[in-house]
Amino acid sequence: MKNNMIYLSLALAFVTLTSCKNEVNSDSSKTQTKVYEGKEISSEFDTTIDSLIAKMTIEEKIGMLHGNSMFTSGGVERLGIPELKMVDGPLGIREEISRNSWASAGLDNDFATYYPAAGSVAATWNPELSYTFGNSVGQEARARGKDMLLSPAINIVRTPLGGRTYEYFTEDPFLNKKLAVPFIVGVQDNDVMACVKHFAANNQETNRGTVDVLMDERTLREIYLPAFKAAITQAKAYSVMGAYNKFRGDYLCENDYMLNNILRDEWGFKGVVVSDWAAVHTTVKSLENGLDIEMGTPKPFNEFFLADKLIEAFNAGEISEREINKHVKRILNVLFQVKAINDTDRVKGSLATDAHYKDAYDIAAESVVLLKNEKNTLPLKLEGVTSIAVIGNNATKKNALGGFGAGVKTKREVTPLDGLKNKLPKSIKINYAEGYLERYSKNDNDQKEEVTLHGPLPVNELDPVKLEEALEAAKNSDVAIIFAGSNRDYETEASDRMNLKLPFGQEELIKKVLAVNPNTIVVMIAGAPFDLQEIEKITSTLVWSWFNGSEGGNALADVLLGTVNPSGKLPWTMPKNIEDSPAHATNSFPGDSTVTYAEGILVGYRWFDTKNIEPLYPFGYGLSYTNFELSDLKTDKETYYSTDTVEVTFALKNNGKVDGKEVAQLYISNPDSAIEKAAQELKGFKKVFVKSGTSEKVTILLPIKELAYYNELKKEWIVESGTYNLKIGNSSRGIKKEISINIK
Ligand code: BGC
């Protein structure tokens, strides 16, 4: 077993912490935030690689530059070079796919752990759990004999309607990078390459195969690239996936500026660029502009752009052998780094173990967001309760499969209903009613391939019989819990949602259930924002859960029953209306043949806060069963230089009766700036466990260089001198204390 022992022991230390919820963790808040750093690609294999390349024919070399099956690129058997074996994806190791089609390979030994989706990981605001996820799923990739995991997906959530919102972490570049880095390090600690996707500016599914994304350079640098940059320069990711769309006129798999100038020249990337599936459009241009491996959807593999066509281009003198060797060398290099060639000491890994299910549980348990608990209904008090109505298709809906590359075949998926059955005393009767049906009308997209005008069209009428059953169950129970929201068919890759409305008539169902039983808890299971304005007005208790992995139902039941004190925080803004969101307010989604990101740097809460628009729930928001108090905010000095780091300290007190974790969030603002800046930006955070009735001293380190903006004219990051306000709070709108510093 290899593994970077430091990270492993840190991760284990954290698992111990999370599994002992009632013990004081005297160190966690005082120690500095852990720094995750990946292992650089070493040059130790250079000579071996050069001698291997010297023995290869041009056909063998080109064979390595494209898919030779759905999820492998070619090897050279006679030289002991194996195929490069890839696997999806963001929610766990995808089932084995046939070599020549998208059909399942039909194996019975490829059941994997279904991990919570990235949105859920982001809601934990816990980088250690992101490492846990990466490390755990990395082991599963190895157990399945894979070299490359097509994950993490770290595109910014630009619009709440994005079909892949649940696959991505957040709308905020700082939170994004703080979660992406440990995930990648965790994966690569297991001799597996992380393939960071989708590089870059791939923020909508609508017309994703053709749309040309336009934005100014500052926006690119400040919002859409920081997590990719950290993935390369800090986590040292070994591979990157080029996206489907165009950026400033060129497809991203043949984009010289993005792949050669930024990724390689500026950031020093030494790994391989893999295309998204069927995202390649040219031969010589793709290769010269930075693509290394072309992957695709079923057609004869020799017809790929980097297959026979490349041989022809070589024979016609349109591309040099030197250029081809460069790409082959990169591929061999990453294969050596993960010990795919000639190494007996490689991580063997393990699949769907209890330890991995526990990892999935730990993430899920910290991700649930308590949005409203006005009457302190939660945690559920069971004294005197003899019956609970469990209502909604989502109480039993399984979400492991779906969403193309993000599906996982698993033997364990604990649904919300299963979770309650597992955790409630047997004396309590559960009255289950499906309530609403998941139904779709014929989608006019069905006929067309790769047309992504909008997602599945839901039938929004309730079935009268199902409604009646639900109302009966609610009337005849002491408490009702409605599990509403969406699912992996409604939120999916390849299409964006048409609107924020809850599908399948759920709003009407919730209203009617609340009318017959006011003692009703509404639990949303979804990966992206929905319009909850009406529901928020009439319900006193609102919980947000996610596509939350194999153990999702157990974790959710533990939160509802108070075994786990909720500590999740929204990783994006929940708008009241879609028109309030920046891409929609500026009428710049989804565009047509081009889309211009007119809101610029004002993505997510940056827009809401700068334009003074009230969201339904702000970025970073989430309640607890206890009350925290933030006080005594200090910095170690008053004046700093651009190379300094501010030591921000404050006290975090738990004034309630139960232990809990709070996410302290550090926002900065620079009101006197000479240039346009967002009203505030997240620049630090820390999740802290505080025992009831005690206080922890918390330190957040803020390197001054984090305050830099990107100056387009100078092509440099510049920290403006002047006064900056540092604000500490428990959401972007829940600022508790402020302090100013000067920067010289
Ligand atoms: C997705 C990728 C995925 C690939 C392979 C593409 O459609 O965009 O995220 O890894 O398919 O399944």
CA 342 – CA 121 distance, rounded (Å): 35
**Tokens at 619, concatenated:** 């970025």
CA 586 – CA 179 distance, rounded (Å): 29
Of 9-23, 394-408, 550-564, highest mean pLDDT: 550-564
Closest ligand 1 atom number to CA of residue 88: 10
CA 705 – CA 711 distance, rounded (Å): 14
Centre of ligand 1 to C-alpha 523, Å, is 30
Centre of ligand 1 to C-alpha 417, Å, is 31
Residues at CB less than 6 angstroms from ligand 1: 88-89, 150, 197, 276-277, 404-405
* Tens digits of residue pLDDT in 475-485: 999 999 999 99
| Protein residue with least CA distance to atom 12, ligand 1 | 405
* Tens digits of residue pLDDT in 167-184: 999 999 999 999 999 999
Where do we find the tokens 């505080």? 690
Reply yes or no on whether the pLDDT at 114 is more than 80.
Answer: yes
State the average pLDDT for the chain: 94
Centre of ligand 1 to C-alpha 65, Å, is 18
Single-letter residue type at 436: Y
Count of CB atoms situated within 10 Å of the CB of 278: 18
CA 547 – CA 183 distance, rounded (Å): 18
Centre of ligand 1 to C-alpha 406, Å, is 8
> Which of 276, 362, 531, 580 does the annotation list as catalytic?
276
What pLDDT, on a 0 to 100 scale, did the predictor assign at position 16?
32
Closest ligand 1 atom number to CA of residue 153: 9
Reply yes or no on whether the pLDDT at 403 is more than 80.
Answer: no
Burial of 501: CB neighbours in 10 Å, binned 0-12, 13-18, 19+ = middle
Q: What share of the chain is helix, strand, coil (3-state, %, to 5)?
A: 30, 20, 50
DSSP string, 404-458: GGG----S----HHHHHHHHS-TTSEEEEE--S---EEPPTTTTSTT--SS--EE
Per-residue pLDDT band at 531 (split at 50, 70, 90): very high
What pLDDT, on a 0 to 100 scale, did the predictor assign at position 454?
67
Per-residue pLDDT band at 404 (split at 50, 70, 90): confident
Count of CB atoms situated within 10 Å of the CB of 602: 23
Reply yes or no on whether the pLDDT at 8 is more than 80.
Answer: no
Tell me how far CA of residue 105 lies from CA of 75, 96, 99, 295, 398, in angstroms.
21, 5, 8, 18, 22
Centre of ligand 1 to C-alpha 94, Å, is 11
| Protein residue with least CA distance to atom 5, ligand 1 | 405
Reply yes or no on whether the pLDDT at 32 is more than 70.
Answer: no
Centre of ligand 1 to C-alpha 276, Å, is 6
Query: DSSP label at 40?
Result: P
- Phi and psi of 594, rounded to 5°? -125, 155
Look at residue 159 and give its three-state secondary structure: coil
User: Which among 669, 667, 672, 670 has a CA at the least distance from the CA of 682?
Assistant: 667
Count of CB atoms situated within 10 Å of the CB of 471: 21
Burial of 109: CB neighbours in 10 Å, binned 0-12, 13-18, 19+ = exposed
CA 447 – CA 293 distance, rounded (Å): 31
Distance of CA 77 to the CA centre of its chain: 37
Per-residue pLDDT band at 429 (split at 50, 70, 90): very high
Query: Once rounded to an integer, what is the mean pLDDT over residues 528-553?
Result: 98
What pLDDT, on a 0 to 100 scale, did the predictor assign at position 407?
87
CA 290 – CA 425 distance, rounded (Å): 59
What pLDDT, on a 0 to 100 scale, did the predictor assign at position 13?
37
Reply yes or no on whether the pLDDT at 39 is more than 50.
Answer: yes
Centre of ligand 1 to C-alpha 307, Å, is 20
Reply yes or no on whether the pLDDT at 592 is more than 50.
Answer: yes
Centre of ligand 1 to C-alpha 476, Å, is 47
- Please choose from 85, 88, 452 the residue to mutate so as to test ligand 1's pocket, defined by most ligand atoms within 8 A of CB: 88
DSSP string, 95-143: PPBPSSSSSB---SS-----PPPHHHHHHHT-HHHHHHHHHHHHHHHHH
Centre of ligand 1 to C-alpha 294, Å, is 13
Rounded percentage of the chain residues whose pLDDT exceeds 90:
92
Closest ligand 1 atom number to CA of residue 195: 10
Closest ligand 1 atom number to CA of residue 404: 12
- Please choose from 204, 404, 496 the residue to mutate so as to test ligand 1's pocket, defined by most ligand atoms within 8 A of CB: 404
Identify any residues that bridge with 389 across adjacent strands, giving them in sequence order: 431, 480
| Protein residue with least CA distance to atom 9, ligand 1 | 405
CA 104 – CA 83 distance, rounded (Å): 20
Closest ligand 1 atom number to CA of residue 151: 10
- Tell me: cis bond preceding 279? Omega within 30 of 0 counts: no
Look at residue 15 and give its three-state secondary structure: helix
- Please choose from 277, 401, 449 the residue to mutate so as to test ligand 1's pocket, defined by most ligand atoms within 8 A of CB: 277
* Tens digits of residue pLDDT in 279-327: 999 999 999 999 999 999 999 999 999 999 999 999 999 999 999 999 9
**Tokens at 311, concatenated:** 């041989």
Per-residue pLDDT band at 690 (split at 50, 70, 90): very high
Radius of gyration over every alpha carbon of the chain, rounded to an integer in angstroms: 25
Per-residue pLDDT band at 668 (split at 50, 70, 90): very high
CB 529 within 8 A of CB 605: no
Reply yes or no on whether the pLDDT at 2 is more than 50.
Answer: no
Query: Once rounded to an integer, what is the mean pLDDT over residues 68-73?
Result: 98
Strand segments, DSSP code E, in 133-268 are: 148-149, 193-199, 212-214, 239-242, 246-247, 250-251
Active site residue 276: yes
CB 97 within 8 A of CB 341: no
pTM (whole model) above 0.75: yes
| Protein residue with least CA distance to atom 6, ligand 1 | 277
Closest ligand 1 atom number to CA of residue 94: 12
Centre of ligand 1 to C-alpha 358, Å, is 27
Where do we find the tokens 């800090």? 234
**Tokens at 462, concatenated:** 């309730």
Identify any residues that bridge with 635 across adjacent strands, giving them in sequence order: 648
CA 315 – CA 328 distance, rounded (Å): 18
Per-residue pLDDT band at 15 (split at 50, 70, 90): very low
User: Which among 632, 606, 622 has a CA at the least distance from the CA of 737?
Assistant: 632
- Tell me: cis bond preceding 379? Omega within 30 of 0 counts: yes
- Please choose from 149, 208, 493, 496 the residue to mutate so as to test ligand 1's pocket, defined by most ligand atoms within 8 A of CB: 493
Count of CB atoms situated within 10 Å of the CB of 321: 12
Closest ligand 1 atom number to CA of residue 71: 5
User: Which among 304, 268, 103 has a CA at the least distance from the CA of 293?
Assistant: 304
- Please choose from 72, 93, 104, 150 the residue to mutate so as to test ligand 1's pocket, defined by most ligand atoms within 8 A of CB: 150
Where do we find the tokens 């600022």? 735
Q: Which of 47-61, 83-97, 438-452 has the lowest mean pLDDT?
A: 438-452
What pLDDT, on a 0 to 100 scale, did the predictor assign at position 74?
98
Reply yes or no on whether the pLDDT at 14 is more than 60.
Answer: no
CA 646 – CA 643 distance, rounded (Å): 10
What pLDDT, on a 0 to 100 scale, did the predictor assign at position 30?
47
User: Which among 117, 186, 742 has a CA at the least distance from the CA of 488?
Assistant: 117
Distance of CA 359 to the CA centre of its chain: 16
Closest ligand 1 atom number to CA of residue 494: 7
| Protein residue with least CA distance to atom 3, ligand 1 | 405
- Please choose from 94, 276, 496 the residue to mutate so as to test ligand 1's pocket, defined by most ligand atoms within 8 A of CB: 276
What pLDDT, on a 0 to 100 scale, did the predictor assign at position 29?
43
In total, the chain counts a number of residues equal to 744
* Tens digits of residue pLDDT in 179-220: 999 999 999 999 999 999 999 999 999 999 999 999 999 999
Reply yes or no on whether the pLDDT at 18 is more than 50.
Answer: no
| Protein residue with least CA distance to atom 8, ligand 1 | 276
Closest ligand 1 atom number to CA of residue 243: 8
What pLDDT, on a 0 to 100 scale, did the predictor assign at position 450?
44
Tell me how far CA of residue 563 lies from CA of 19, 20, 98, 380, 586, in angstroms.
11, 11, 43, 10, 44
Centre of ligand 1 to C-alpha 363, Å, is 24
Centre of ligand 1 to C-alpha 153, Å, is 10
